Amino acid sequence: MISPVMPTYGRFDLAFERGEGVYLYTTDGRKFLDFVAGIAVTGVGHCHPKLVQALSGQAEKLWHVSNLYEIPEQTRLAERLVANSFADSVFFNNSGAEAVETAIKMARKYQDAQGHPERYRVITVQGAFHGRSLATLAAGGQEKHLAGFGPVTEGFDQVPFGNLNELRAAIGPETAAILVEPLQGEGGIRPMALDYLRGLRKAADEFGVLLMFDEVQCGMGRTGKLFAHEWAGIEPDVMALAKALGGGFPIGAVLAKEGPAAAMTAGSHGSTFGGNPLACAVGNAVLDVILEDGFLDRVDKVARRFWKKLEALVAAHPKIFESVSGAGLMLGLKCVPENIVVVKKLMDGGLLTVGAGDNVVRMVPPLIIEDSHVDEALAIIDKAASELTKE
């Protein structure tokens, strides 16, 4: 008989009751070091006091009113995202897929407003993941996610990862935008070269198409800067955010420069829940934490030390690990055995990690981790790798 919860997820036999900072506690009292963080969602750790306070404080005042009215918490969050990014304006959603879907709609609407309704196609890169709606599935272009859900939504062209010439060659008279993750998450923790990102900016300007970044996973401080593209010293025209923006409360956002944002005229797009008072109160609290002086520098410092020690660990266990990849606290260990075997072994040792494409074990810990947590994780990884080598 089918379970009451639809069988879309292959789940581990673990149920958590409580979270505190970097740790999770199961209903039967076991403690885990959480380097999954809800897949890069609980960026400031579980039950951060500032987030708890923001959420419960707002819950006692007002939960929801509809975007028919002014929402001061939403305005404040938008103003702060604008002040701390390339963007001039923000639209709020509830999830990553919705945010990317909005970005795709914006690209079409912008080109239409420019007098180019024929420009509707979006170029994406192999290995991409942009969400599970029909359009974002097509944008991601992954066979395993598209199977059975055809026909595939029209309007997407995919090019090989990291090849600027092929991408430039794919830009045609119908191209509206380029959409990429500066650091691919689901695809296997694959960072795009900074020069490649700069090349995308140049190509977009040259051909009059929009450059759109999906920073749903790699944004919000994950790489040691507020947004991953900042490492390349360039700016996109549009960017999708979600995951860590709400620290575990569902919220997504599309940030855009004035041009594309202005195309989204009153009545052209909307969302019932997007940017409601509860979500935005929490989003503001997340920003309070991440924008605090020294926070991102600390992320960068902890991450660099972690990376160095991981490289040594990989070298010490050649039968288990091939290489380290990623940036900041978005790290991948490419495995020799099947990655799920390693994930399970680490789980037995008390460390939560998650698989990604390309046979990678992904680690996206809360950004508040300290050297001691890193050392604890390294010891578990070292022990697991030694045991797996003997098996």
Ligand X SMILES: *Cc1c(COP(=O)(O)O)cnc(C)c1O
In whole angstroms, how close is the CB of 336 to ligand X at the nearest point?
25
Choose between 42 and 317: whose C-beta lies nearer to ligand X.
Answer: 42
Instruction: Check binding of 97 to ligand X (CB under 6 A).
Output: yes
In whole angstroms, give the CA distance from residue 52 to residue 312.
Answer: 38
Q: What amino acid is encoded at 388 in this protein? A: L
Task: Catalogue the long-range contacts made by 163-172 (C-beta closer than 8 Å, 24 or more residues apart).
Answer: 164/196, 164/199, 164/200, 164/203, 167/123, 167/125, 167/200, 167/203, 168/203, 170/123, 171/123, 171/203, 171/207, 171/209, 172/121
Nearest distance from C-beta of residue 181 to ligand X, angstroms: 5
Strands (E), the chain: 16-20, 23-26, 31-34, 89-93, 121-125, 156-159, 175-180, 183-184, 190-191, 210-214, 238-241, 252-256, 321-327, 330-335, 351-352, 354-356, 360-363
Task: Determine which residue in the list 37, 87, 135, 242 makes contact with ligand X, applying CB under 6 A.
Answer: 242
Among 185, 188, 355, 365, binds ligand X (CB under 6 A): 185
Q: Is 337 helix (H, G, I), strand (E, B) or coil?
A: coil
Interatomic CA distance for residues 46 and 160, integer angstroms = 37
Considering the complex, what minimum distance in angstroms separates the CB of residue 231 from ligand X? 17
Interacting stretch for ligand X, rule CB under 6 A, among 63-71, 155-163, 178-186, 254-262?
A: 178-186
Q: Which stretch binds ligand X (CB under 6 A): 89-97, 223-231, 308-316, 369-377?
A: 89-97
Coil, strand or helix: which one is 87? Answer: coil
- 181 touches ligand X (CB under 6 A): yes
- For ligand X, the closer of residues 255 and 385 by Cβ is 255
State the binding string over 357-386 for ligand X (x if CB under 6 A, else -): ------------------------------
**Closer of 185 and 224 to ligand X (Cβ):** 185
CB of 124 to ligand X, least distance (A): 11
Point out which span in 19-27, 91-99, 145-153, 301-309 binds ligand X (CB under 6 A). 91-99
User: Binding string to ligand X for residues 194 to 233, with x set by CB under 6 A, is what?
Assistant: --------------------x-xx----------------
Determine phi and psi for 327, rounding to 5 degrees: -160, 145
For the record, the structure tokens of 340 come out as: 């799920």
Q: Does 120 bind ligand X (CB under 6 A)?
A: no
Nearest approach in angstroms of CB 84 to ligand X is: 20
* Nearer CB in complex with ligand X: 214/237: 214
Q: How far is the CB of 8 from ligand X (least distance, A)?
A: 12
Residue with the shortest CB distance to ligand X: 96
CB of 101 or CB of 119, closer to ligand X: 101
Residue choice 95, 142, 175, 276 for contact with ligand X (CB under 6 A): 95
- Decide: 283 and 113 in contact? Cβ < 8 Å: no
Sheet of 330-335, strands arranged across? 321-327, 330-335, 360-363, 354-356
Q: In whole angstroms, what is the distance from residue 259 CA to residue 153 CA?
A: 26
Sign of CA dihedral 27, 33, 39, 45: positive
φ/ψ of residue 297, rounded to 5: -60, -40
Provide φ and ψ at 275, rounded to 5°.
Answer: 70, 30
Q: Tell me the number of residues near ligand X by CB under 6 A.
A: 15
Residue with tokens 């790489």: 223
- 3-class secondary-structure state, position 313: helix
Query: Toward ligand X, which CB reaches closer, 136 or 345?
Result: 136
Scan residues 122-141 and list those touching ligand X (CB under 6 A): 129-131
Question: Which one of 151-159, 179-187, 196-204, 309-317 is the stretch in contact with ligand X (CB under 6 A)?
Answer: 179-187
Q: Could you say whether residue 100 binds ligand X (CB under 6 A)?
A: yes
Q: How far is the CB of 240 from ligand X (least distance, A)?
A: 7
Judged by CB under 6 A, does residue 102 bind ligand X? no
- Which neighbouring-strand residues pair with 190? 184
Sites of contact with ligand X (CB under 6 A)? 95-97, 100, 129-131, 181, 185-186, 214, 216-217, 242-243
